[in-house]
Amino acid sequence: MKSTTSNLAPSAKLRGVLSPVLTPFTPNLTPDTKRFVTHCKWLLAQGVGLAMFGTNSEGNSLSVAEKCLLLDALINADIPLHRAMPGTGSCNLPDAVALTSACVAAGCGGVLVLPPFYYKNPPEDGLFRFFAELVERVGDRRLRVYLYHIPSVASVGISPSLVERLLKSYPGVIAGMKDTGGDWAFTKSMIERFGPAGFDVFAGTETILLETLKTGGAGCIAATANVNPARIVDLFQNWQMPQAPEMQAGLNRTRSLFAAQPLISAMKTALAHFTGDEGWKTVRPPLLPLAPDASQTLMASLLEAGFSMPDLQRYQSTDSAKETK
């Protein structure tokens, strides 16, 4: 892992829209750093932060070494990492500590940490000890931990009592949560209960972004920010305007078109179409690319809805031109 002193995490807190950055792969299934950097540049230009190595990044299909390779690629490309919240959770503590330490050293604004999810129904004391050991072993005052609540996938959630204990023990370090639990009442209660203590709650989908912001949440970390970033950012910036409900409805319609297919493969299919780069369709097993008929159905529905990905081709062209010099 390359170290850097130029991207130290600033005091400004992470807010707004972040994308769990899709991970491109080469034909032999290794991470493609060139495509990755280009995609991150486009996302940042659209006003979106980088939550790489998350669920929709195929993060749990990547090794720590591969994640560090991608992180190094961003550093080498002078990507500002203060707008990054990489996923660093793991079922084993040493990997979580190693990757978290690397991300803090790189100047990432925060890290998103899954609970250890292999052992089901762990006691709260065990979860508390996992996060406490992570904080203590990283031992860096710049560390900002965002807890990842996604019980439908992990089967291990983050309870209010666990948040309360962690905030009491590590104030300022336990910075917030990504809530992908699918229970608005829970999301709302977390914002109202812990928001006044500086605990920032990000919705795990843009479909509840408006309600999240009305309640005092920090924004969203949304899969389709990979493909629909500017429109989601537009709602974040204009959520108090009269047209905000209509904007939210538009985001939900677009989300439904992608969610009609396996989401990661659908988003990669759209990127392949709008970049003209078929390599974007590659996913790592056990995932599979969309079948041809499913790809045709997806693209027909998107084009009929007037969907587009502004400026994407310009970033592809710019990076290709740099490569030939």
Q: Are 24 and 32 in contact (CB under 8 A)?
A: yes
**Strand 200-203 relative to strand 219-221, pairing:** parallel
Read off the pLDDT of residues 275-296 as tens digits, 9 standing for 90 and up.
999 999 999 999 999 999 999 9
Count other C-beta atoms under 10 Å from residue 316's C-beta: 18
Read off the pLDDT of residues 266-275 as tens digits, 9 standing for 90 and up.
999 999 999 9
Residue 200 to residue 182: CA distance in whole angstroms: 17
**Nearest CA-CA partner of 39 in 16, 15, 23, 55:** 23
CATH of domain 16-243: 3.20.20.70
Read off the pLDDT of residues 295-308 as tens digits, 9 standing for 90 and up.
999 999 999 999 99
Domain ranges of the chain: 16-243
Q: Are 47 and 230 in contact (CB under 8 A)?
A: yes
Structure pTM? Answer: 0.93
- For residue 319, what pLDDT band results from cuts at 50, 70 and 90? low
What is the residue-wise DSSP string for 197-220?
Answer: GT-EEEESSGGGHHHHHHHT--EE
Mean pLDDT of the chain: 94
